[in-house]
Structure 1
Amino acid sequence: MGASAEHSEDGSGGGCLACDLIAGTEPLPGGTISRTGHWTVEHCVGPLGLGTLVVKPLRHVVHVADLTAEESAELGPLLRRTSEAVTAVTSPEQVYVCLWSHAGGVPGHIHFVVQPARADDMARHDAYGPALQVAMFGAGRVPGEHDVADVCDRLRAALAEPAR
């Protein structure tokens, strides 16, 4: 396992969208929301709704088992704080946190999706949980850049507040 030879340890290059977003070679609507020594928090670039965040390691990691002790130590508290910020800013029914790491059926840069599950989204798609995510991808509705920038500013402020 470990980092692929086509990806640098600093998270740049090699055709990995997650690495390219970190490196700034692909546009990132809303910009970086938060960054720790080992992780970054960004708005999802896909159709999972406004306020859906991605928490991913700064280096290219394909398997959770390959996380370092330091990366692992930061992960739990960061996921909790990110979920807390999403809850405070979006007031959802629930916040889903799930690991994604496939691109075209091939394991890719791991990332945790932190998604506000809203009643109106569940009603619109007549789905919840994984079925809601599949339905949202099927619908393909990506939030507008202005809306993403606005919610990212609010999420950035919420994440900057001291943890409860």
Structure 2
Amino acid sequence: MGGVTVAEDSSVGAGCVACDLMAGNAPLPGGNVLRTGSWVVEHCVGPLGLGTVVVKPTRHVVHVAELTAQESTELGPLLQRVSVAVSEVMAPEQVYVCLWSHAGGVPGHIHFVVQPAGTEDMARFGAFGPALQVAMGEARCFPEAAEVEQVCARLREVLG
């Protein structure tokens, strides 16, 4: 089994949706919610529900093993801080935090999904945990842009 190697220049991912969103080359309702030295927080553009955000490195990184010491140092506290904000703004029963990193079956720009999970969604989709995410993806229900803008504004206030 081969090891993971760091690309010569992993700062830009050609054709990478995550990179395109950060660069403003694709529509991003709500815009950046928060940006740190190494990470950006944006509302999820996928069908994972209102208030679901993505925490991703500002440079193109495909494997957690490629994170720098600085990125790693920021990650845990940032995920906790963003989870608190999502909890406060969305008031779910639980907040899921999981790594997503595949695009078309190929490893892509890593991103941590921070998703509010409430009883309404669990009842609507008849699922919870990973099965809830799969069901939401298959249903292809996207939040309205105006709602995303409002939630992002509230998240920005909480994240200060």
What TM-score range do you get, normalising by the shorter chain? over 0.9
The gaps in structure 1 that reach 5 residues or longer are: none
Residue 61 of structure 1 contacts residue 109 of structure 1 at CA under 8 Å; is this kept in 2?
yes
The answer on 1:35 being equivalent to 2:35 is: yes
The gaps in structure 2 that reach 5 residues or longer are: none
Name the residue aligned to 2:67.
67
Letter in 2 for 1:38: S
SS, match of residue 102 in structure 2: strand
User: In the aligned structure 1, how far is the partner of 2:6 from the partner of 2:144?
Assistant: 36
Letter in 1 for 2:6: G
User: In the aligned structure 1, how far is the partner of 2:16 from the partner of 2:7?
Assistant: 12
SS, match of residue 15 in structure 2: coil
Q: Map 1:105-144 to 2 at 5 A.
A: 105-144=105-144
Are residues 74 and 44 of structure 1, via their aligned partners in 2, closer, same or farther at CA, if it must alter by over 3 Å? same
SS, match of residue 29 in structure 1: coil
User: In the aligned structure 1, how far is the partner of 2:108 from the partner of 2:78?
Assistant: 21
TM-score normalised to structure 2 length: 0.95
RMSD: 1.1
Residue 93 of structure 1 contacts residue 119 of structure 1 at CA under 8 Å; is this kept in 2?
yes
The answer on 1:2 being equivalent to 2:6 is: yes
Letter in 2 for 1:98: C
Residue 3 of structure 1 contacts residue 60 of structure 1 at CA under 8 Å; is this kept in 2?
no
Residue 51 of structure 1 contacts residue 151 of structure 1 at CA under 8 Å; is this kept in 2?
yes
Are residues 51 and 3 of structure 1, via their aligned partners in 2, closer, same or farther at CA, if it must alter by over 3 Å? farther
TM-score normalised to structure 1 length: 0.92
SS, match of residue 109 in structure 2: strand
**How many residue pairs get matched?**
156
Letter in 2 for 1:63: H
Letter in 2 for 1:40: V
Give the CA deviation at 1:27. 1.3
Give the CA deviation at 1:20. 0.4
User: In the aligned structure 1, how far is the partner of 2:6 from the partner of 2:157?
Assistant: 34
Letter in 1 for 2:56: K
Are residues 121 and 151 of structure 1, via their aligned partners in 2, closer, same or farther at CA, if it must alter by over 3 Å? same
% identical equivalent positions: 69
Residue 56 of structure 1 contacts residue 110 of structure 1 at CA under 8 Å; is this kept in 2?
yes
User: In the aligned structure 2, how far is the partner of 1:155 from the partner of 1:4?
Assistant: 35
Give the CA deviation at 1:2. 2.1
User: In the aligned structure 2, how far is the partner of 1:4 from the partner of 1:111?
Assistant: 21
